[in-house]
Amino acid sequence: MSPTLYTPDRDELATVLAGEPRYRLDQLWEGLYTQLAAPADISNIPKQLRERLATHLPTSLTSVVRRENDNGDTVKYLWELHDGSRIETVLMVYPDRVTVCVSSQAGCAMACGFCATGQAGFTRQLTVGEIVEQVVMAARDARAMHRRLANVVFMGMGEPMANEGAVWGSVERLHGALGLSARHITISTVGLIPGIRTLTQRPLPVNLAVSLHAANDELRDELVPINKRYPIDDLMRACDDYLEAKGRRLSFEWAMIDGVNDRERDAAELATLCRRLRLAAHVNLIPLNPTPGYPTVGSSKARVAQFHTWLTDLGVNATVRRNRGTDIDAACGQLAAGQPVTLRRKPARD
Ligand code: SAH
C-alpha cells in the first residue's frame, strides 16, 4: 500500500524532502503535528512543495458522514479509505478531558456476537497513517472547540492486538509527535496473548484494557470466541506479566448482558479473578448497547448498580462507564461503518 501523509516517521519524511533545505522538515513536522494543519494550510512551506506532497503523500481519510449528538460533546466520524473500506472514529468531550476512540482495523475478525463490528466481519488492517490521521482529525476538531485532545483509546473498530505493529507505530507517533503521554493512551484487547506479549516488550507503558465479559471459560467461550484459543488462565498470566513490566493498572471491560453475566455469582467469579493479579485491576461496567445481530438486551440500570455494589463489597475497584453516543450509534460495540445499528429508527444514509 502506498504511503499516506501520516505514515512516514520523521526520518522517512526527511527522505521524502531530500533536496529541500533542512528546515523544511521542521516546518512540515510542526505544521502537521503541532499546528494540526492540513498541508495546504502550512503557509510557510512553498506552494510547489505543498502540491508535491499532496501528490506523493495524500491523506487517507475521506469524510462520509460526521454526526454529533445533541450537545455536540460526542462526534462520530465515518471515513472512507482509498480502497472503499470504511471505518469510524468517535470524539468525546468531557468537562475535564477530551478523548478519541480510534479504529485499528476495518471490521474485525474476532466475531464477538454482541458487537456490531464483530457481526460485520473483517475487511483489512489499518496502516500507521490511517490510525494517526484519525487522531489528528479529532484533535483538530477539539482545538476548534478550544480544547486539547489528550486521551486516545484503541476501542473503535477492530482488534488492536491483531494489528500490533501498526498500532505500535501509531502509539510512537502520538507520543513523539503529538506529545501525548503514554498513560493517556489505552489499548483494549479481546485477549490476544501474542499481541499482549509483544506489547510487554515495547518501551512505553500504555494502559491495557481487556474485554473480559465473563470470568469462566465456559461462558467466555460463548461470548468471546477467541477465548477457546486463549483461555482465561493463560490470559491472566499474560496480563499479570504486562502489569509487572509496566507498573500500570489493568482494566477489565464487562458489557453487562441481562441474565447472562450480571448475576451475583458472576460478580463473585470476577472478584476472584481480580484477586489473582499481583497488581490492581479496575473493572469498567458497560451496560450492553443494542446491536441488530444479538438478541439479548443490556442489564437494567438497577441491576448494573447492584452488580457494582456486589463487586465493591468484594473489594473490587469498579466504575460504571458513562454511556456516550448511543443516539448516534457511536457507543461501545455499535461501530459498524455505515450499516444501520439502531433498531428503533433508520439513521440517515449518504
Ligand atoms: N477489539 C477490542 C477493541 C474494541 S473495544 C476489544 O474487544 O477490546 C470495544 C469495547 O466495547 C470492548 O470492550 C467490547 O467488548 C465492548 N462492546 C462490544 N459490543 C458491545 C455492546 N453491544 N455493548 C457494550 N459494549 C460492547
Among the listed residues 41, 22, 2, 14, the one whose alpha carbon sits nearest the alpha carbon of residue 136: 41
* Cβ(189) – ligand 1 distance below 6 Å: yes
Which of 108, 125, 131, 155 to mutate to test ligand 1, by most ligand atoms within 8 A of the CB atom?
Answer: 155
* Cβ(114) – ligand 1 distance below 6 Å: yes
Q: What is the CATH number of domain 61-337?
A: 3.20.20.70
Q: Do domains 1-59 and 61-337 have the same CATH topology?
A: no
**In this model, does residue 348 exceed pLDDT 50?**
no
CA angle 108/322/230 to nearest 5° reads 35
**Closest C-alpha residue for ligand 1 atom 21:** 333
Residues 6 or more apart in contact with residue 330 via CB below 8 angstroms = 67, 69, 74, 76, 88, 90, 324
Q: Which three cell numbers stand for residue 346?
A: 433508520
| pLDDT tens digits, 44-92 | 999 999 999 999 999 999 999 999 997 889 999 999 999 999 999 999 9
Residue 213 CA to ligand 1 centre (angstroms): 9
Q: At what angle do helices 193-201 and 232-246 cross, to 10 degrees?
A: 10
Q: How confident is the model at residue 153, as a pLDDT?
A: 98
**In this model, does residue 329 exceed pLDDT 60?**
yes
Max Cα distance, the chain (Å): 67
**In this model, does residue 344 exceed pLDDT 60?**
no
Residue 290 CA to ligand 1 centre (angstroms): 12
Of 164-178, 200-214, 313-327, minimum mean pLDDT range: 313-327
pTM confidence score: 0.95
Q: Which CATH class is domain 1-59?
A: mainly alpha
Cα separations (Å) of 106 from 52, 109, 118, 131, 194?
A: 29, 10, 11, 11, 21
Residue 247 CA to ligand 1 centre (angstroms): 25
Q: From the alpha carbon of 298, which atom of ligand 1 is closest?
A: 23
* Cβ(332) – ligand 1 distance below 6 Å: yes
- The number of beta carbons lying within 10 Å of the beta carbon of residue 226 is 21
Q: Where are the domains of the chain?
A: 1-59, 61-337
* Cβ(119) – ligand 1 distance below 6 Å: no
| pLDDT tens digits, 227-238 | 999 999 999 999
* Cβ(255) – ligand 1 distance below 6 Å: yes
* Cβ(31) – ligand 1 distance below 6 Å: no
Residue 148 CA to ligand 1 centre (angstroms): 26
Q: How confident is the model at residue 3, as a pLDDT?
A: 84
* Cβ(329) – ligand 1 distance below 6 Å: no
Q: From the alpha carbon of 115, which atom of ligand 1 is closest?
A: 19
Instruction: Answer yes or no: are the C-beta atoms of 192 and 162 closer than 8 Å.
Output: yes
